[in-house]
Amino acid sequence: MNPMRTIDPAILLLIIDDDAGSLDLLSTALAQPGLEILTASDPEDGLDMACSRHPQIVLTDLIMPTLSGIEVLERVIEIDPATDVILMTAHYSSETAVEAIEKGASDYLNKPISLPRLRERIGRLEEEARKRRRSLDLEDELRASSEFDGIIGRSPLMRQTLSRIQRVAPHYRAALITGDTGTGKDLAAQALHRLSPAGSGRYVVLNCSAVVETLFESELFGHVKGSFTGATNDKPGLFEYADRGTLFLDEIGDMPLATQSKLLRVLQNQEVQRVGSLNSRKVDVRVVAATNHDLRALIAEKRFREDLYYRISMVEIQVPRLADRKEDLPLLERHFLTRFAAQYCKEIHGLTRRAQILLSQYAWPGNVRELENVIGHAAMMTMGDTIDTQDLPAHLHARPEHRDRASTPTSADIGTLAGLERFLLTQALETAGGNRSKAARSLRIGRDALRYKLKKHNLDSPDSLRGSAARA
């Protein structure tokens, strides 16, 4: 026996058929080690099981009293598009078969079913499900092996960037990091610092776009008491504070020209002079500058000093856009999903195929920072253990004007994670007309989980639900 077989979680097969004899026959014929079989004679009960247990394979009859197999197929695919659904029928028609396949069915079998053929088909689907599970495990391993000092990436462009950081870090005194907003220039700067001889020293950050022009010199170089109005004490600047460490000047393109000239002198002489002082102080500081501007264009516009540019760009590292390294999307998605699932105390296993496809088709103008926000939003919104397209922000969809804007909560509606959960429960029950089974399926949770959440939020009575709806 394969020892891995005993520790692998079982693959779940759900059989839905209103004929009890057929359920017994199929469950007995398909029983095997490593396959857990669930059965339901009522399609509604079967859908509840699909919500709560997330089976990898569903085998359903086509003709049933309350719901047809096609309806079951549609709802199962809504719950989890990765589920393999097989329809069975004694009333075969090519039109229905084509409709079933178009709606996402894996197979369409005619009764009486050949049990050897069915066993073979289920066996293949079971192995594919195990491969998908192993693929997720490998993704986690790959993500771990593709993380370099906090930076995730294995695409050729990122490997080139990371290799350059490794080669440069032991030697640089000043470096320039370029790239669009949200690409991760700050992470590249931190990696340079940690891998440099100054890695044990302080890492000090100044966002140049957030400093008032008249305070730039005081922030960088410090001042002495009485040097200007409000200077009541001597104050060391960031260069002194970062002595034997690294100073990160973010958005250096927004630094005033007068400050640029003094920065150049510090870089050349490794000396700072506090505002109002005649004395210079020696410092040992590595400087990493970053910008999303074209500094050469700023030089042409007389907004950036050419000599400072050449001083800081002796070592230049460009961080690529996310659109240019989409091979890294699955790794980044997994990385952020793991982090936000832990942050929100949720058990989220991954993204559906259609959610991954939607993310891969998007242009990502906000780069990795935008992806982080999108995954964080989706992890907060999902009520199930898998992120699907409806959990993603509306702007990612090709035709956002067709989305129901009324169903999108505002900050006033939610305020907190608990408030968001209450809002989603209320919306689901209203949309389902009070039918708790339908509400649970729309939220992709079981009825027991829905009852628990309703009780937790005091929504388990009609009056409380009406009051919550009025507030929403």
- The pLDDT, as a whole number, for residue 254 is 93
| Torsion of Cα atoms, 439 then 442 then 446 then 451, to 10° | -30
- The pLDDT, as a whole number, for residue 337 is 93
Closest CA to 125 of 34, 6, 48: 34
Q: What is the DSSP string of 120-136?
A: HHHHHHHHHHHHHHHHH
**What whole-number percentage of the chain has pLDDT above 90?**
51
Report the amino acid identity of residue 139. E
Q: Distance of CA 266 to CAs 125, 137, 272, 285, 466, Å?
A: 67, 50, 6, 10, 67
Report the amino acid identity of residue 292. N
pLDDT tens across 444-472, in order?
676 777 777 787 778 876 555 555 444 44
Crossing angle between the packed helical segments 156-168 and 185-195, to the nearest 10 degrees: 40
- Domains of the chain are 3-143 (3.40.50.2300), 156-319 (3.40.50.300), 324-471 (1.10.8.60)
Average pLDDT value for residue range 413-432: 70
Instruction: Name the most confidently modeled range: 255-264, 272-281, 353-362, 378-387.
Output: 255-264
pLDDT tens across 106-118, in order?
888 888 888 999 9
Work out the mean pLDDT of the chain and round it to a whole number. Answer: 85
Confidence of residue 140 (pLDDT cuts 50, 70, 90): low
pLDDT tens across 60-72, in order?
999 998 889 999 9
